[in-house]
Amino acid sequence: MAASDVNEIYISSSPHFSLRSSTRGTMACVIITLLPLAIKGICLYGVNALVTILASVAAAVASEYIFQKINKLPVRAGDGSAIVTGLLLALVLPPTVPVWMTILGAVFAIVVAKQLFGGIGANVFNPALAGRAFMIVSFPAAVGASWMKPAVVIEAEAAARAAEALSGATAVSSATTAIDAVSSATLLSSVKAGTAAITSDTYLQYFLGNRAGCIGESSILLILVAFVILLAAKIIDWRAPVAMVGTVALCTWIAGGDVLFALLSGGLIFGATFMVTDYATAPVTSGGRLVFGAGCGLISFLIRQFGGYPEGVMFSILIMNAVAPFLNHIIPRKYGYGKKAGKGASK
């Protein structure tokens, strides 16, 4: 028998799943749910957001293609996973980040956090969050110190100042407006500093996305729509996201904080929808996902409450990514066993 006639046996570590959907189909569904958030971000922040998104996606796809070509690996840049990584990275960045920093972050996410671990499905840490962590550690002033106000907020504030100027209360300077538009802090930072002024309209504006922040994390409404779509399509599991959000809400309530604002602010809902549900970096069991999500929520709350950063979603998910293999070990899934028969069933 010729060697070419022998069937090859591919051996890889468990667990093994047989799914009807392909990787390309799954990634396409995720991309479709992310596009409204990207469009919303472009509407809020203008050309800065568009350039950041295009640069991140292009750098992610190109770096994956080049890495696989150089190492003579099967080129899988067309499966959509690199596009998802680039898009997710861009959406968790502020629109003021320089393009070259965005490109570096995307290359780090693909090459270091994904390909060096073995490619899609073998990475330990969420690639997009690893790329953002690399950026915020390397360039903290550019990634986390300045934020751009949405156009609608700038227009509303300009109108209010103009009204004050007409009444003789103050004069409006275009230079001052420009500085405020770029150097404004997020309300989450102001809450941590104890200088925030939260009104009844704040909750609505945060729900709709009219606030300073990262490109794709602003509109809670669109993120919740994406969550429902991905859940209905069985792309994601509900346990980790619900456990994460529920833990943050519970801890905030116990600490006497504003629960609603804690849920609407920062990247909590975005991270719970798109990051903790990552197949490769989350536990495979139902119980493990609940513990995983609760751990992410607890660490997020602790960093928000006591840490040096106003937001802790990114670090909490990366920390729990490292714990996920241990959760798979202590809460195992036994393969090959059926469900227990009921009392009336024959044995």
Name the burial class of residue 275, with classes exposed (0-12), middle (13-18) and buried (19+) by CB atoms within 10 angstroms of its CB.
buried
Whether residues 127 and 155 share a domain: the answer is no
CA 71/CA 246 separation, integer angstroms? 44
Cβ atoms 83, 37 nearer than 8 A: no
Inside any domain, residue 190: no
Q: Write out the residue range of the structural domain in which residue 175 sits.
A: 149-183
Q: Is 41 exposed, middle or buried (0-12, 13-18, 19+ CB in 10 A)?
A: buried
Q: Is 314 among the domain residues?
A: no
In a domain, 53, yes or no: yes
Write down the pLDDT at residue 183. 43
- Tell me: do 125 and 69 sit in the same domain: yes
pLDDT at 203: 84
CA distances from 102 to 54, 133, 233 (A): 10, 12, 31
Per-residue pLDDT at 165: 62
User: What count of other Cβ atoms lies within 10 Å of the Cβ of residue 219?
Assistant: 25
Q: Could you tell me the two tokens for 231?
A: 């859940």
Name the amino acid, one letter, at 30: V
- At residue 280, the pLDDT reads 87
Residue 78 lies in a domain: yes
Clarify whether residues 75 and 164 are in a common domain: no
Tokens of 149: 């106000």
Question: Residue 159: its pLDDT value, please?
Answer: 58
**Same-domain pairing of 131 and 161:** no
Whether residue 154 sits in one domain with residue 134: no
Residue 113 falls inside a structural domain: yes
> Dihedral angle at the C-alpha atoms of 7, 8, 13, 15, nearest 10 degrees?
-30
- My answer on whether 127 and 29 are in the same domain is yes
* This prediction's pTM: 0.81
Q: 147 forms bridges with which residues in the sheet?
A: 184
Measured CA to CA, the distance from residue 260 to residue 251 in angstroms comes to 12
Does the residue 270 lie in any domain? no
Report CA-CA distances (Å) from 42 to 52, 81, 255, 303.
10, 22, 36, 29
177 and 72, same domain (yes or no): no
Pair 129, 177 in one domain: no
SS3 letters across the chain: CCHHHCCCCCCCCCCCCCCCCCHHHHHHHHHHHHHHHHHHHHHHHCHHHHHHHHHHHHHHHHHHHHHHHHCCCCCCHHHCHHHHHHHHHHHCCCCCCCHHHHHHHHHHHHHHCCHHHCCCCCCCCCHHHHHHHHHHHHCHHHHHCCECCCHHHHHHHHHHHHHHHHCCCCCCCHHHHHHHHHHECCHHHHHHHCCCCCCHHHHHHHHHCCCCCCCCCCCHHHHHHHHHHHHHCCCCCCHHHHHHHHHHHHHHHHCCCCHHHHHHCCCHHHHHHHCCCCCCCCCCCHHHHHHHHHHHHHHHHHHHHHCCCCCCHHHHHHHHHHHHHHHHHHCCCCCCCCCCCCCCCCC
**Residues 178 and 111 reside in one and the same domain:** no
The answer to whether residue 321 is domain-embedded is: no
The gap from C-alpha 337 to its chain's centroid, in whole angstroms, comes to 35
Looking at the fold, whether 161 and 98 belong to one and the same domain comes out as: no
Q: What are the pLDDT tens digits along the chain (347 aa)?
A: 444 444 444 444 444 555 556 788 889 999 999 999 999 999 998 899 999 999 999 999 999 999 999 998 888 877 889 999 999 999 999 998 999 999 999 999 999 999 998 888 889 999 999 999 999 999 988 887 666 777 656 655 555 566 666 665 554 444 334 334 444 455 555 555 554 567 777 888 888 888 878 899 888 999 999 999 999 999 999 999 999 999 999 999 999 988 998 898 888 999 999 999 998 899 988 899 999 999 999 999 999 888 877 788 999 999 999 999 888 888 765 555 555 555 544 44
Structural domain contains residue 86: yes
Tokens of 196: 């925030």
pLDDT, position 175: 38
Asked whether residue 47 falls in the same domain as residue 118, the answer is yes
Q: What angle do CA 191, 192, 196 make, to 5 degrees?
A: 20
Residue at a domain's end among 183, 202, 232: 183
* Number of structural domains found in the chain: 2
Q: How far apart are CA 12 and CA 127, in angstroms?
A: 22
Residues 103 and 179 in one domain: no
Residue 301 and residue 248 in contact, taking contact as beta carbons nearer than 8 Å: yes
pLDDT score for 338: 53
